[in-house]
Structure 1
Amino acid sequence: MTEFDRRKFPPPEDEAMLPWYRGIFDCGFISLHPFFVIEGLDPRLNEHGTLVLEGKDRPAGADFIKWMDQLSAEHSKGKELHGRSVDHMAKRFGQMIGWGEMCERLGLEDHCELDAALRTHIKGLRDDLTDPEAADRMVRHCAANRIFLPVEGDIPPLFEAKLAAMFRRAGFTEIIAGDEFGDDECIVPVIGLDNEKPWITRDDFPTYGHLRLMAPDHSMLAWVHWDSFYTAIFATKERAASLDLDTTFEGFWCAEETKTFWLTQRPLPLVQPR
């Protein structure tokens, strides 16, 4: 592929999203991946989220892959649920906690500061953008209150029924599911997408890479950036009118200048689902 098919892919990180999609999509909504609780489950006792490793911590001379496997095995010891079991439980029983509420709990001014805390926690920021104090406060608060943190790069199970309903409201009976690179695309029926099976465990979805969801007529597109805690939803003006995005998801509408890496930009007003 010599150039991006802008109907299918996110823009480069240094370009504003709406101008990049000009002539294809008219509006974009950033739906923030929720924190959540599952009654009876303690995140500290269950395997969930990204195991963050730093190369500088690797013992001298240790094989990198073997070192990662060893730490992963140690991290899994004593856990009540492993692998994708928490995703199954989250889709069935998860109770969402929004970013607005978490900002109030943590004393953060806005969702950009919370995004910085989350990205600091996964070591996904340059040193000059990190906020270790906010990240530590967030982790301690969530541990004390048995709150699961959102996971970067994947559509959360708690969003799956909402996204399926969104495509149904638009009148579609099937969608195109693709990986982040465009190497794997498949047609998936909308019916059944809101059942109890998380999408990442389905055989009819792309196996590798971060997911993109497309309308067959390319009037709407949803994607997750590999190192981000949101699902971006773009649509034509006509299609967006039927989607009820700002009553379905917590998030914000893109401004002309909004980029994929928006935490360094002015915070835009959050809308809350009803």
Structure 2
Amino acid sequence: MTNRVLPTPEKFASCPYDGKILSFYEGQFDCVYVLLHPFLRPTTIDIERFCPSMWPDKHEIINGCDAISWQEIIEISGLNSLSDIDVGLRTSIGGLKKELSNELFAKKLVELEQQHIIHPQEGDIPPLLENRLLKTIKELGHNWLWVGDEFGTERKLLWIDDLVEQDEIPPHGCIFTHDHSLLVTTHWDSHCSFLCSSKEMVEKILSLDPFEGFYCTANTEVYWGAYDI
């Protein structure tokens, strides 16, 4: 019996599982910007809805929550850096090896719930970034985007305006342009997404909408908070 082994996913439509981010995309993208997923503060949604069985949908969150930046979280949590937040979030979901986790950081983030601040979800492009990204990509001249799954086995081409109105991106999925010049993807244990393109294109995007985040260096790992970035 022949084992069924999936082919290696194309770099323009996939996410690294571990290791150095720029090394993974070498030969495809020369620039990756880490998009930090905002924390949420509900304004018109009952706080009790934020549990797996009742989690609000995309448009409920867009219309019923304020975004809280990671820089604001540093100011109110007692943590000292973006890396502290990253490690705390990953620790809280069991996404780090024991020697890399930090329960104190996780505890400080859990305490934010007393202020009705909800942690960003891991593994998905968040609603409070999704439509902003889509509208910015459209401003660059794209009208269509491919929407793919995390394994590179399924994809469909969708009109950007329809993507804005609907909720079509699958869990751990990605979006990429037809010419393979731009990719947005999310690692399943990460509370951030990777915006991959040329440096010129990323700078254009940030000039249109200054998304919170940082540029990858040659040393930036997928689990970046636990390592020197």
Give the TM-score of the pair, scaled to structure 1: 0.75
1:39 is the counterpart of 2:43: yes
Aligned residues of 2:79 and 2:108 also touching (Cα < 8 A): no
- Aligned twin of 1:121: 92
- Cα deviations across residues 49-74 of structure 1 (Å, max 9, x unaligned)? 5xxxxxxxxxxxxxxxxxxxxxxxxx
- Aligned twin of 1:107: 78
- Aligned twin of 1:159: 129
Aligned residues of 1:150 and 1:229 also touching (Cα < 8 A): yes
| Alpha-carbon separation, structure 1, partners of 2:138 and 2:116 | 34
Deviation at 1:238, TM superposition (A): 4.2
| Alpha-carbon separation, structure 2, partners of 1:97 and 1:125 | 24
- Aligned twin of 1:171: 141
SS in 2 for 1:7: helix
- Cα deviations across residues 70-99 of structure 1 (Å, max 9, x unaligned)? xxxxxx5xxxxx24x354321113211111
Write the mapping of 1:53-64 to structure 2, written as runs, cut at 5 A.
none
- Cα deviations across residues 77-133 of structure 1 (Å, max 9, x unaligned)? xxxxx24x3543211132111111101211111111111111111121111122212
- Aligned twin of 1:226: 188
Match for 2:24 among 11, 20, 24? 20
SS in 2 for 1:18: helix
Aligned residues of 1:42 and 1:147 also touching (Cα < 8 A): no
Give the TM-score of the pair, scaled to structure 2: 0.89
1:89 is the counterpart of 2:52: no
C-alpha change, 1:86 and 1:136, in structure 2 (3 Å) is farther
Q: Which amino acid aligns with 1:46?
A: R
- Cα deviations across residues 129-158 of structure 1 (Å, max 9, x unaligned)? 222122122112x22111111000111111
Match for 2:172 among 194, 200, 210? 210
| Alpha-carbon separation, structure 2, partners of 1:245 and 1:124 | 33
SS in 1 for 2:183: strand
Q: Aligned-pair RMSD on alpha carbons?
A: 2.0
Aligned residues of 2:10 and 2:152 also touching (Cα < 8 A): no
Count of aligned pairs: 224
User: Which runs of 5 or more structure 2 residues have no equivalent in the other structure?
Assistant: 1-5
- Cα deviations across residues 180-236 of structure 1 (Å, max 9, x unaligned)? 0011100010113333x4x2xx4xx55xx4111101000011100011100100002
Q: Which amino acid aligns with 2:226?
A: T
| Alpha-carbon separation, structure 1, partners of 2:107 and 2:208 | 31
SS in 2 for 1:193: helix
Question: Percent of aligned positions with the same letter in both sequences?
Answer: 30
- Aligned twin of 2:3: none
| Alpha-carbon separation, structure 2, partners of 1:8 and 1:262 | 21
Q: Which amino acid aligns with 2:216?
A: C
| Alpha-carbon separation, structure 1, partners of 2:135 and 2:78 | 34
Match for 1:254 among 216, 225, 228? 216
User: Which runs of 5 or more structure 1 residues have no equivalent in the other structure?
Assistant: 50-75, 77-81, 268-274
